[in-house]
Amino acid sequence: MLTREGKHQDTALGRKYHRVGCAHDGRPLLPRALFSQPCLSETQAVELGRILRKVEAVMGMPVEIEWALDGSGFKLLQGRPLHLEPAAVPEEIWLRHPGLNGQPAGVGWSSGRARVVNCECELSLVAPGDILITRVAGPALSQILQRVAGVVAELGGSTSHLASLARERGIPMVLGVLDATTRIPDGAQVAVDGVSGVVRWM
């Protein structure tokens, strides 16, 4: 986390247990030595913050940026306006049902049938209007965003490419929802609040 002036303030490690890939191919989990390693150093985070503020100055508004990092440093891939939507008021009935919290990553509020997908090779099971419940919000999910009513994932964050695509399309998304694939029953009715970061089911 950086201050508005671009100084490093805090570091929060995201959960990362698995490599992205097919859950059925027997690939190992992420090596334990990498579990607690930050993806960026403090110096790199500050540099990335400077890039973000430069893009905001050019565009004259709050932005989100997409970037890559290689041996020669950061590469700015694109910058987009950051649209912040007010939270919709859910129907009162949802407040009486079980819920999980995560990181809000998409706009608005929606409900639909839960489709629990444990691997990208199962994405064909997702029907139009479903709420996708998955482990990793990886790039492959972009191919089905146009047909889902919402997305809930155990890993990922609001600055990911998929989260940006969801916001552009007005799709509610909540990421970093611990144990979502095991606690939310497949086929249950699910409500996703992409602003407050709450998922409920009944």
- Number of folded domains that form the chain: 2
Q: How many CB atoms lie within 10 A of CB 42?
A: 13
CATH code, domain carrying 145: 3.50.30.10
Look over the chain and give the mean of its residue pLDDT values, rounded to a whole number: 82
100 and 131 inside one domain:
yes
pLDDT of 17 strictly over 80: no
98 and 187 inside one domain:
yes
DSSP letters, 83-147, are --PPPPPPPGGGGGS-EEE-EE-S-SEEEEEEEEESSGGGGGGPPTT-EEEEEE--GGGGGGGGG
Q: Is residue 78 part of a domain?
A: yes
Q: How far apart are CA 67 and CA 77, in angstroms?
A: 5
Give me the domain span that covers residue 138: 92-201
39 and 101 inside one domain:
no
23 and 63 inside one domain:
yes
4 and 70 inside one domain:
yes
Tens digit of each residue's pLDDT (9 = 90 or more) over 49-106: 999 999 999 999 888 888 889 999 999 988 888 766 555 556 666 777 888 998 888 7
195 to each of 88, 105, 174, 188, how far by Cα in Å? 8, 7, 8, 21
Q: How far apart are CA 201 and CA 94, in angstroms?
A: 8
Please enumerate, as own/partner, the contacts of 19-28 that have beta carbons within 8 Å and a separation of 24 or more.
Answer: 20/136, 20/138, 21/120, 22/119, 22/120, 22/121, 23/118, 23/119, 23/121, 23/135, 24/119, 24/121
Q: Bigger pLDDT: 52 or 161?
A: 52
CATH code, domain carrying 69: 3.30.470.20
69 and 129 inside one domain:
no
Q: Bigger pLDDT: 33 or 54?
A: 54
108 and 46 inside one domain:
no
Q: Is residue 87 part of a domain?
A: no
Phi, psi of 139 (to 5 degrees): -60, -30
Domain boundary among 82, 104, 139: 82
115 and 187 inside one domain:
yes
Tens digit of each residue's pLDDT (9 = 90 or more) over 100-141: 998 888 788 899 999 999 888 888 899 999 999 998 887 788
pLDDT of residue 186: 96
97 and 65 inside one domain:
no
